[in-house]
Amino acid sequence: MASTNRHAESGQLPHWRWLTLVLAALLVVTVGSAPALHAQDATEAPETPDVVIPGTGDDVEPVDETASPETPPEEEPAETADNEADEPVDDPEPVTTAAVIQISATDTGHPAVMAHGLAFLTGNQSVWQVREVEPASVSEAAPTVSNAAFVYQVTGTSVIRNDVTGKRALLSPGEVYFKSGGDPYTTFADSDDSLVWIFEVVDSDSVADDAFYESPLIDDYVEGVFDLQIIRYVLEPGDTATLPDHTGPALVISTDGDIDIEADGLGLLGTGDGQLITTDASVTNNSSNPATFMMAAFGSEVGEVTASPGTDTAATTGDAATDDAATDDTTVDTSITDTDPAPDETATDDTTGDTADGSSGAFETSINITATAELYVVIVADGVTVFDGPIPVNGQSGVIVGSTFEVFTSTGVATLFTNSCGDDFLMGYEEGEARYTLSANANSCPP
């Protein structure tokens, strides 16, 4: 009993009560911790979706009044995305754009045929020449006659006029004009910086003094009428162009930049340098800047079925039968080089008349020769020598009537003919002696 009172007085619990309290505390801890463990497991498990009951207002999305009115709600992915991924998707239609129109002839691109026309070749030995010319002003420009030729505008602008037809053309930088052989043309400077290059096939003895390029002699041209064309190429650095087929040798000349030509060897051309090619060839720009070059060449041969009525092409020979020569129904017995009559110009340059001499069956017309330089001329009409002597500058032989005319002149290019229709024309452009034969036909103007 005494011991029991000591425990009571000291405030201490008996040992059995301590044991009871410890057991009770363990029970409380065990039971209280179980819901906490289950709550942690519940947060990791997927939530059960709410069941929406129509008509109760649960199916209306609640409005978030705190959201900014400018912020659009995020779009949920389409439900068919997975299905579309499984199905094959057609490629989108290509975007079509309007065709590009080159406003300037200096725009990048290759190849581009800049100009072409028909030219007559007899197969005589000849050369390509390229001249650099500054066109004169309107008050100082004078007509010139040449073979079929290309006029390439380098800088500035020019106006070219065909003095037979009166038709004109305006050339801007990079553009090219084709001149028919035998027709007089006048080129006017349309700006202070006008500069042109003239490409032409000429007799080896007729190379101009101002030609900065002259090709080697060419023996490979054959007789016939061919499509003479000039093609422009613009190559970016690293570009290569394969040159097309052509008839006989073709001229390749750099107009701006450095190019490499591979044709029976490798050649390097700078601006203004040219090279003849006779076989398959390719041109490469191995420089760091764009390069432009021209290819002047004879293409396909053109038959005589499209020639103008009255054109005696079979009798036309020489290096360059002029437009006027063919139109005048003449036989050219000389060494002119290349040209082909333009169909609409043949009648205008006819030396022959519209009426015939019914009694003899021969057609008659007339010619008159004007000397643009001092000449010595012999004219035989119907087998009779009717003129034999010199003609001073601007002098004339006088009107001579006949059916067939054989003319010798000391300078072909300075011998200007006038037919019965009043049309002026040249039979050739030789700087030396030349012989021509002209014959009247049913289309000839009366004398």
Q: Are 328 and 417 in contact, with CB atoms under 8 Å apart?
A: yes
pLDDT grade for 335, boundaries at 50, 70 and 90: very low
CA 364/CA 445 separation, integer angstroms: 8
Please give the average per-residue pLDDT across 184-192, as a whole number. 95
Domain membership flag for residue 166: yes
For residues 205 and 284, state if they share a domain. Answer: no
Last residue of one domain, picked from the residues 302, 329, 355: 302
For residues 292 and 430, state if they share a domain. Answer: no
**Nearest in space to 203 (alpha carbons), one of 428, 438, 435, 436:** 428
Tokens of 158: 């020019």
For residues 193 and 244, state if they share a domain. Answer: no
**Nearest in space to 328 (alpha carbons), one of 383, 362, 371, 366:** 366
Residue 272's domain spans which residues? 108-124+218-302
Question: How many CB atoms lie under 10 A from the CB of residue 333?
Answer: 16
Tell me how many domains the chain contains: 3
CATH number, residue 198: 2.60.120.10
pLDDT in tens, 48-75: 555 454 444 555 555 555 555 555 555 5
For residues 147 and 192, state if they share a domain. Answer: yes
For residues 255 and 313, state if they share a domain. Answer: no
pLDDT (0 to 100) of residue 409: 93
Tokens of 243: 């040159």
Domain membership flag for residue 82: no
Domain membership flag for residue 103: no
Question: How many CB atoms lie under 10 A from the CB of residue 56?
Answer: 8
For residues 272 and 345, state if they share a domain. Answer: no
pLDDT grade for 182, boundaries at 50, 70 and 90: confident
Low-confidence winner among 97-101, 116-120, 193-197 (lowest mean pLDDT): 97-101
Domain membership flag for residue 36: no
